[in-house]
Amino acid sequence: MLVVKQETDDILVNPPNVQRIHNETEPQRNQLISHGSKPFTCGSCGRSFQCKAHLNCHMMIHTGEKPFSCDTCEKSFASKPRLTLHMRIHTGEKPFSCGSCGRSFQCKAHLIRHMMVHTGEKPFSCVSCGKSFRAKSELLPHMRIHTGEKPFWCVVCGKSFALRPTLTIHMRTHTGEKPFSCVTCGKGFARRFSLIYHMRTHTGEKPFCCVNCGRCFGFKSSLTRHIMTHRSEKPFSCVTCRKQFTRKLYLLLHMKTHTGEKCFACGTCGKSFQFKSQFNSHMRSHTREKPFSCVTCGKGFASRRNLTPHLRTHTGEKPFSCFYQKIFLNYSHENSHR
C-alpha cells in the first residue's frame, strides 16, 4: 500500500529555517518518529506534531507570520520550504518524475498521488458511503455532501458553498470577472469548462454520440435530451392540444405557443421573443457578434443554423432532395425549387 505523507514535500520534514528546540535526545526523537508519536500539540487548534520544529512552523498559521517572501512576485510564506516549492512555479522546475509515464511534478506529494492513477490505489474511504479517494484532500470535500457543511461564504450575498473553488467561481457573478477567453473570437467566460464548450462552436467537435442512431452532439446535455426522443414514454401532456413530451421543460416551452407569451424583450429595439435562444440570436443582429466560425475558411456566422449550410459548400454535401431527385445544399433552396 502506498503511504501518503501529510507533508507537501520531503523538504518539509526537517525545515532548515526553523530553529530546532528539542527536549529529547536524537535517539529518543528517532524513536518517537518511528512509533508515530506526536507529543507536541498546538494550543490553538489541538493539532499534534512529532517534533517541536514542526509545531513552531505550524504556529505561524495562527499568528499570520510569513517571514519568507518571493523575490519574483513578493508572495509570502510561513516557512522557507514552502517558499522553495513556490519558486518552482516561476522556474518551471519539476524534479519528481513518474517512472511509468514520465510525467513530472513540482513536489513529491503530487508524484505520490499521481502514482495511484497507475496502481489504482484509493486508500481514503468515506465512512458514510464507502466511496474511495486517492488523497485526503479529495475525501474531505466529499464528506461535506453527507454533513451538509458549507464553510465558504460569499461576503457580498451571504451564499455559502462546500468548496472554496466553487466560491471563487461564484464571486465572478458579482465582480463580472471572466478570466477564460476564446482565442478565436475573444469572448470571455467565468469558468474554464464553459470556454471548452464554447470552443466546440468553432471547431465543430461533437464528442457525445447516441448509441441508438449514431447522431453526435457537442454537449452531453444535448445528448441526454436527444436520447429521450428514442423513448416511447411521454408523461407530460399539453392540456390544450394533448401533445405529449418527454420532459416537463419541453411542455413549458410548448405552452408558449398557445399563450403567446414573449418574456424575452430586446432592450435596443423592443422586439420580444418566446424563447431565450431566439432572443440571444436576435441580439447578435445589434452587436454584430459572429461566434460560429468555419474551420476551413474562417468566415463567421451569427448562428449555428447559418454555419451548417455554409460548411456544405466545402464538403459538397447536399442532403435535401426533391421528388425529381434534384439535390440542394439547404432546405430553403429545396423549397424555392418546388
pLDDT given at position 338: 52
pLDDT higher than threshold 80 for residue 31: no
Domain co-membership, 61 together with 28: yes
- pLDDT tens digit sequence for 268-289: 898 888 777 788 888 888 888 8
Residues 6+ apart with CB under 8 A from 273: 262, 264, 265, 266, 279, 282
Domain co-membership, 59 together with 106: yes
In a domain, 208, yes or no: yes
- pLDDT tens digit sequence for 211-242: 988 888 888 888 887 887 787 778 889 999 98
Task: Return d(Cα 55, Cα 18) in angstroms, integer.
Answer: 10
In a domain, 130, yes or no: yes
pLDDT higher than threshold 50 for residue 22: no
In a domain, 162, yes or no: yes
pLDDT higher than threshold 80 for residue 98: yes
Average pLDDT over residues 109-133: 89
Average pLDDT over residues 30-56: 77
As given in the structure block, the three cell numbers for residue 97 are 518524475
In a domain, 324, yes or no: yes
pLDDT given at position 268: 87
Domain co-membership, 14 together with 112: yes
Domain co-membership, 297 together with 202: no
pLDDT higher than threshold 60 for residue 16: no
Domain co-membership, 36 together with 114: yes
pLDDT given at position 18: 35
User: Mean pLDDT in the chain?
Assistant: 79
Confidence of residue 14 (pLDDT cuts 50, 70, 90): very low
Give the lowest-confidence range in 166-170, 242-246, 252-256, 273-277.
273-277
User: Which amino acid makes up residue 218?
Assistant: G
- Total of domains in the chain: 4
pLDDT given at position 127: 92
**Residue 192 CB: number of other CB atoms within 10 A?**
11
pLDDT given at position 4: 37
pLDDT higher than threshold 80 for residue 317: no
Residues 6+ apart with CB under 8 A from 180: 188, 189, 190, 191, 192, 194, 195
Confidence of residue 321 (pLDDT cuts 50, 70, 90): low
- pLDDT tens digit sequence for 180-220: 998 888 889 988 888 988 888 888 888 889 998 888 888 88
The CATH number that applies at residue 29 is 3.30.160.60
Confidence of residue 35 (pLDDT cuts 50, 70, 90): low
pLDDT given at position 198: 87
Domain co-membership, 53 together with 107: yes
- pLDDT tens digit sequence for 129-169: 999 988 888 898 899 889 999 999 999 999 999 888 889 99
**SS3 assignment, position 245:** strand
3-state SS of 102-122?
A: CCEECCHHHHHHHHHHHHCCC
Computed over its alpha carbons, how large is the radius of gyration of the chain?
29
Domain holding 199, by residue range, is: 180-230
Average pLDDT over residues 99-119: 88
